[in-house]
Amino acid sequence: MSVHTNIKKVTTHTLLEMKRRGEKISMLTAYDFSMARIIDSAGIDVILVGDSASNVMAGHETTLPITLDQMIYHASSVIRAVNRALVVVDLPFGSYQGNSKEALNSAIRIMKESGAHAVKMEGGREIKESIERILTAGIPVMGHLGLTPQSIYKFGTYTVRAKEEIEAQRLQEDSLLLQEYGCFGIVLEKIPAKLATVVSKDLSIPTIGIGAGNGTDGQVLVSHDMLGINNEFSPRFLRRYANLYEDIGRAVKNYVADVKSADFPNQNEQY
């Protein structure tokens, strides 16, 4: 009998039920087996294999360079570790904006080659056709509105979005449209808390916020940021739960010192 028989897996329906009963949804990013194993075992509801892998794993300045093949590699590593969480994978820049057939092919590759449970796409009404075509193939889609890092060169900065009435209005409309198309949830990134609260109340599908205040149905953070592995990024919305940059640095310094002084390995650490 499998060890994991009793684990109740999180599905897109679970998230809808959580919203209905007012239970907040927890979501974090992961890009590799070891981190995904820790995060899943600790009880996270959703793991996002975000295209932020482009920043935190590969060291790129933006999310634009990461490829579909690289996202599939990260997603399949995560999937091998996960027993309970719903695993959502970002469709990377350039894999869905061209046309809906390309979008469908990209989503199918992610589902087939990684074993992921859903995909996430940035944008509103402009990607309607692609969302609907992917959904027709039975692939759940999560939306992403507000700060959409794949469009960074269009906006020019990573500052708070939808502060002006006209952009806020469009975001509200887009959130209702994404729900109408069939998305099972929407990430709201870096928008005013009041707007995120209104949007969340208007929708029957859950919203997951990052830098969008406490009125969303759940929260997401980049795991490397909240664990303090990346200590160069400290926006107001980020709460750090550990300082692994310092912890790992200290451990490595101790190891180097032990090797240099021939303290490591000792009698008990050899054959």
Q: Where does this chain touch ligand KIV (CB under 6 A) — which range of 43-51, 64-72, 73-81, 239-247?
A: 43-51
Q: Indicate whether 209 belongs to the interface with ligand KIV (CB under 6 A).
A: no
Between 49 and 168, whose beta carbon lies closer to ligand KIV? 49
Task: Give CA torsion, residues 147, 181, 142, 14, to 10 deg.
Answer: 140
Considering the complex, what minimum distance in angstroms separates the CB of residue 150 from ligand KIV? 9
Q: Indicate whether 223 belongs to the interface with ligand KIV (CB under 6 A).
A: no
Q: Indicate whether 225 belongs to the interface with ligand KIV (CB under 6 A).
A: no
Q: Where does this chain touch ligand KIV (CB under 6 A) — which range of 11-19, 45-53, 108-116, 225-233?
A: 45-53
Per CB under 6 A, which of residues 48..107 are in contact with ligand KIV? Answer: 48, 50-52, 90
Q: Is 189 a catalytic residue?
A: yes
Between 72 and 222, whose beta carbon lies closer to ligand KIV? 222
Per CB under 6 A, which of residues 155..194 are in contact with ligand KIV? Answer: 187, 189
Considering the complex, what minimum distance in angstroms separates the CB of residue 173 from ligand KIV? 21
Q: Indicate whether 45 belongs to the interface with ligand KIV (CB under 6 A).
A: no
Among positions 141, 210, 212, 226, the unique one binding ligand KIV when judged by CB under 6 A: 210
Among positions 29, 207, 216, 219, the unique one binding ligand KIV when judged by CB under 6 A: 29
Catalytic hit among 17, 173, 189, 246? 189
Lookup: tokens for 240:
């750090």
Contact in structure between 229 and 40 (CB atoms under 8 Å): no
Residues binding ligand KIV: number (CB under 6 A):
11
Between 139 and 188, whose beta carbon lies closer to ligand KIV? 188
- Helix axis angle for 165-181 and 128-136, nearest 10°, is 20
Using CB positions, name the residue nearest to ligand KIV.
Answer: 50
Question: Which residues contact ligand KIV by CB under 6 A?
Answer: 29, 48, 50-52, 90, 187, 189, 210, 220, 222
Residues designated catalytic: 189
